[in-house]
Amino acid sequence: MSLFEQNISLGISPCPNDTFIFHALLHGLIDGNRFRFLLRMEDVDTLNRMGMDAALDLTKISFHMFGYLRNEYVLLNSGAALGRGCGPLLIAYPGLSLEKIKDKTIAVPGRFTTANLLLQLMTGGHDNIREMRFDRIVEAVATREVAAGLIIHETRFTYQLRRLVALVDLGGWWEDRTSRPIPLGGIIARRSLGEATIRSLDEMIKRSVIHARRDPEASRNFVRGHAQELSDEVIRKHIDLYVNDFSVDLGGEGRKAVKTLFDQAEQSRIIPESSRTLMI
């Protein structure tokens, strides 16, 4: 007889913060887990696009994309990437400025990423964007395929190696504008799962985050196995930056930050308005 009562399709990225957070849950280290997780591991832009089709029960998602999915999904309290000093950077080659790139092509790691949402909020709308995988953007800027690029994840730690400069820290811009931490990505659950199941999943993820932070070495091989091109130092910096107390529980401050982001995105007509509750 199976120990699991329910199958749950789960989407996460191979980025170190996600594999670190979900390691204990996916490896049977959380007592009382009654779910069998059917894992899809994809880059964040792919997960965003899968979200459009409501393809997964439980998934990591950019907060920008979640703005379009509030009728079908609800945000969990645990597992989020949200904080201060961790926002996307707008980089360019030396000699350029914000004024000089006003009409030029900016590479973004997906139209529905929070990075692009912040760019649109800051500029009042920048239509000349080119979507590409986040790990291609530094090279595209360095070779002048594009004038500037929005970088996220571990590329925040490596772009200087190509002698590029940061024009704006969009996380810093957001914090100065709102005094709130920046919500980057969260874990959302299909509303049709029902409140009891969703709350159980949220509790399992919370316990998985706590396990990872208490015993970071336990997930080392799993994290490294999905981040083979990254050095141990970059992996450590990545986890330290994106996994924090908000990842355990958004809390009042985190929930206010998410609401502020959606309020401003709705006011700017970047995402549709919704009357549905955001969070469980």
For residue 78, give the nearest of 201, 237, 241, 240 by alpha carbon.
201
* Dihedral sign, Cα of residue 42, residue 255, residue 268, residue 103: negative
At 53, which CATH number? 3.40.190.10
The predicted structure's pLDDT at residue 1? 33
Mean pLDDT (10-residue bins), the chain, 280 residues = 78 96 96 93 92 94 96 97 92 92 94 95 94 92 96 85 93 96 96 96 98 96 88 90 96 96 96 84
**275, part of any domain:** no
| Strand order through the sheet with 106-108 | 129-131, 106-108, 148-151, 89-92, 165-169
The pTM score is 0.92
Q: By the 8 A CB rule, do 133 and 111 touch?
A: no
Residue 197 and residue 75 in one domain: yes
Give the integer Cα–Cα distance in Å for 278 and 229.
36
Amino acid code (one letter) for 183 = P
The predicted structure's pLDDT at residue 135? 87
Name the β-bridge partners of 149.
Answer: 91, 107
Structural domain of 247: 6-83+181-267
Q: What is the CA radius of gyration of the chain?
A: 18
The predicted structure's pLDDT at residue 277? 82
Catalytic amino acids?
153
- The residue among 178, 202, 219 that closes a domain is 178
Residue 72 and residue 189 in one domain: yes
The predicted structure's pLDDT at residue 3? 62
Residue 134 and residue 77 in one domain: no
Looking only at the bridges linking them, the beta strands covering 106-108 and 148-151 are parallel
Give the integer Cα–Cα distance in Å for 67 and 4.
32
Residue 150 and residue 190 in one domain: no
Residue 33 and residue 114 in one domain: no
Using the structure block, give the residue that is written with the tokens 């006003």.
102
- The residue among 178, 211, 227 that closes a domain is 178
Residue 54 and residue 190 in one domain: yes
Give the integer Cα–Cα distance in Å for 37 and 4.
10
Give the integer Cα–Cα distance in Å for 76 and 65.
15
Residue 63 and residue 48 in one domain: yes
Give the integer Cα–Cα distance in Å for 88 and 182.
10
Q: Please tell me the total count of domains within the chain.
A: 2
The predicted structure's pLDDT at residue 64? 96
Residue 159 and residue 199 in one domain: no
Angle at 277 between CA 276 and CA 280, to 5 degrees: 140
Residue 30 and residue 147 in one domain: no
The predicted structure's pLDDT at residue 218? 96
Residue 73 and residue 95 in one domain: no
